[in-house]
Amino acid sequence: MLTEHVPVPDFGGHGRPHTRFRMTAWCLPPGSAARRAREVLRGRLTKIPLAADVLDDLEIVVSELVTNATRYAPGPYELRLLHDHGLPVKAEVVDAGAGTTLIEHLLHRPPPIPACLDDLELGGRGLRIVTELTHGRCGTQWTRLCGTGQLGTAVWFDLPTPPQQP
């Protein structure tokens, strides 16, 4: 496990920024990256009150993203969780590839109207699943891998906030 702090500029009149978000990153082994990402995500998110079906959906999302990364981009691969005041708020799957623009397009393209079922085989189905299960709260950005410093692509998705306690 790698740990890194992500500074968010918030000067608040004091002239110096403070760190609001904390990021924890895990290296994902190429042969079992999707399984490891699901284990880590479930292990971290079971500590907050989320419905079982929401947790299942998030496992599908992270599995789709890691599978795409290992299939189409060079490693190394990382799973990152960003925390705000100790609460996980965003997850990222990071690889050493340069697919940011293409992935962003595939995440946010309009749904197809297939002429036949075979037209759904053209690719991008996993990213459509990600968009659907995250309600469109997903995207890409350039980043540096925590473990190597290499430039790469992060595909992120927002995590649902748990219900407020009365």
Q: What is the mean pLDDT of residues 16-39?
A: 84
Please name which of 65, 84, 21, 67 lies closest in space to residue 154, comparing C-alpha atoms: 65
User: ∠ CA(9), CA(96), CA(46), 5° rounding?
Assistant: 65
Residue scoring higher pLDDT (48 or 28): 28
Q: Confidence class of residue 46 from pLDDT cuts 50, 70 and 90?
A: confident
Instruction: Indicate the fold that domain 2-108+122-158 takes in CATH.
Output: Heat Shock Protein 90 (3.30.565)
For the cut 50, the answer to whether the pLDDT of residue 14 exceeds it is: no
- The confidence score (pLDDT) of residue 98 equals 93
159 Cβ contact list (under 8 Å, min separation 6): 45, 58, 88, 89, 90, 91
DSSP state letters, 73-116? S-S-EEEEEEEETTEEEEEEEEES---HHHHHHHHHSPPP--SS
Domains of the chain, residue spans: 2-108+122-158
**Chain CA centroid to CA 157, Å:** 5
> pLDDT tens digit string along 86-142?
778 899 999 999 988 888 888 887 766 555 444 444 456 788 889 999 999 999 999
Residue 133 to residue 99: CA distance in whole angstroms: 21
Across 38-42, 50-54, 149-153, 162-166, least confident range? 162-166
Under 8 Å between Cβ of 146 and 80: yes
